[in-house]
Every structure is written in C-alpha cells, then in structure tokens.
Structure 1
Amino acid sequence: MSSNHLVTQSIEKLKRAHIRITPQRHGILEYLIENHNHPTADEIYQALAEQFPSMSAATVYNNLRLFTKIGFVVEMNYGDASSRFDFTSTQHYHAICEVCGRIEDLYYPGLEDIGEVTTNLTGFKVKRHRLEIYGTCPECQLKQEQAAKN
C-alpha cells in the first residue's frame, strides 16, 4: 500500500471519528507514514519546524498522544530516555541494534496467530503483543570488525 493511500485512509478515519484535520496534524501523520525510522517526538518536531514555524513541541506530543489513543501509532520505549513512535498499518515486530539504537521493522507471517495460541495455552485474553529482537546491525558489525583489525 502506498504512503499516499495510507495518509488518505488515515485522514478519512480521523474525519469519521469527528477529529478535526489541522495542517499540523496532517503533517505529523504524513511524516510518520513516510518515515520508517521510528522517530522521537523531538525528531518529528525538528523535521516539521520549517514547514510549520508556529507549531510547538507540545502540539507534536499532543497529536502523538491522540494517534496512539486511536491506534494509528504505537509508542515504543526500549529503556532509553526518549520514546519512539511507529505508524502501524500492519502487525510487525522490531529488530534493534544494541550498539547504535537503529530499529528495523520485521514482518513475520508465522506469528499472526500468536495471540490465539497464547489464549489456548494459558487462558489469557490477549490485548496486544510485541516482539523485540536485539543484536548488532550490519553497519555496526562492520565497524566492530574494522576496529578489531586495527
């Protein structure tokens, strides 16, 4: 699905929920959909500051809170100081570099029924789940190999 289609679809969902579509709200949503780098609120603010000079950091935070509440965005906190935000159109997981903090989306269809399996095995009523895989990204591996040679 194209990012333009996701933006249009998301805007329509906001309208159906009677949520006003401000230019800033549209800009934040579009940024999240088009950038798969799991930005922090501050990174979003910095990226959009030139386009929306009167927008405050609080506007970004408030809209991220709204998008999280209605299920457009997942707030990811991996123990560092800043939460990262991820637009969620499909269930996916994350591979996280323990050296540089890079986060890559991982789609693995074999885990689609994990909630049902968990319910069957434990009796839990599953609301949501997340999977995080920690390791070292290819760039950091290369840097480590080069440093070991020197």
Structure 2
Amino acid sequence: MNHSVVEDSIEKMKNANIRITPQRYAILEYLVDSKIHPTADDIYKALADRFPNMSAATVYNNLRLFVKIGFVKELALGDASSRFDFSSTQHYHAICESCGKIVDLYYPVLDDVEMVAENLTGFQVTHHRMEVYGICPDCQAKGIHKDNAPSAAETAGHHSHH
C-alpha cells in the first residue's frame, strides 16, 4: 500500500543508526496502513500472532522511539491510552465527542500559524496542535447531535492540561 512511505522511514532510521528489527518494521507498517490512530495496545494485539514473544512494553518502547525520531505523533486525547499517528505531513484531528472517532484533517493554510506566532510573540515555535470536536456523520445518523451529545470531557473524566 504505502510502501514507499515505510521505506522512507526505514531509511531515516538507518541514517539515525537505529537498528531495523522485524518488530519495528511491522509496527511502522501497521501505523502507516492504519487509519484508526491505534493505541499501543491495538498494535500489540494486531501483531501478537506474528511476534508471539513480543511484549506490550516492546511495542510501547518502539512507539516512543518513533515519536522521538519525529515520524510518529503521540496523541494524548484525554483518555488513559495515547493513540499513535504516523504522520509525514502536518495535519489536525477532528474528534467525535460521541464515539471518540478521530478523523484526519488536512488544512495547509494553518502552517503559517507558527510563523505568525513567532512574529507576534518572539517565541521560537517548535510545533502546534489543533483539535476540532464535534459529532461525526455516523453518530449524526443515529440521531446524536451537538445539543444532546454526552460530552467526551465528562465521560473521560477531566484531564489536566500541562
């Protein structure tokens, strides 16, 4: 599917002198093909058959590594388990407050935000994030609308903003 994307990432890892283990390759491939922003647990379960001796901790540590290298983003969306998002391009997330689904949103215009912020504040901006909350089309079809939706914040317990 996105073969070249995986290969590019593998190249980057080689250049960073990171060993390419079969597990790492599989985790990366799963992330690239996955459209659901999986949790570490999702990935662990998905690969458990292929790597029976791989622990959940291994998956998590590898994800942390990918995040550090910068081609995977960790989305802390207020629930206990972070989701991981393979990201070669800056994009945003629309999050359904009813079912929790996350949809990627590409809006290149917002890339200027960082430049504007630097000009206005004098900060050296490293990154930014934006989340859009609402009710996805599936939930709307079930009759859930923004006026009667259980707010995700209440269901997830309030998460502290650092």
| Pairwise same-fold verdict (TM > 0.5) | yes
**Local SS of the residue matching 2:84:** strand
* Displacement of 1:125: 1.4
How far the C-alpha of 1:136 sits from its partner, in A, is: 0.4
Alignment partners' CA distance in 2, 1:16 and 1:119: 31
Deviations 1:66-115 (A, max 9, x none): 00111011111111111000011000000000001000000001111110
2:52 matched to 1:49?
no
Aligned partners of 1:48, 1:144: CA distance in 2, in Å? 36
Q: TM-score w.r.t. structure 2 length?
A: 0.86
Distance in 2 (CA, whole Å) between partners of 1:127 and 1:66 is 19
- Stretches (4+) displaced over 4 A: none
1:91 matched to 2:101: no
TM-score (norm 1): 0.93
1:113 aligned counterpart, secondary structure: helix
Distance in 2 (CA, whole Å) between partners of 1:139 and 1:111 is 27
Matching of residue 7 in structure 1 with residue 3 in structure 2: no
Counterpart of 1:20? Answer: 19
Task: Provide, for residues 3-41 of structure 1, a one-character-per-residue CA deviation record: whole Å limited to 9, x for no partner.
Answer: 100000101111111111100000000000110210000
Residue of structure 2 equivalent to 1:129: 128
Unaligned runs of 5+ in 1: none
The yes-or-no answer on 1:59 pairing with 2:73 is no
Q: Which sections of structure 2, spanning at least 5 residues, go unmatched?
A: 149-162
Say whether 1:40 aligns with 2:43: no
- 2:108 is aligned to 109
Deviation at 1:51, TM superposition (A): 1.3
C-alpha separation between the residues in 1 aligned to 2:124 and 2:15? 29
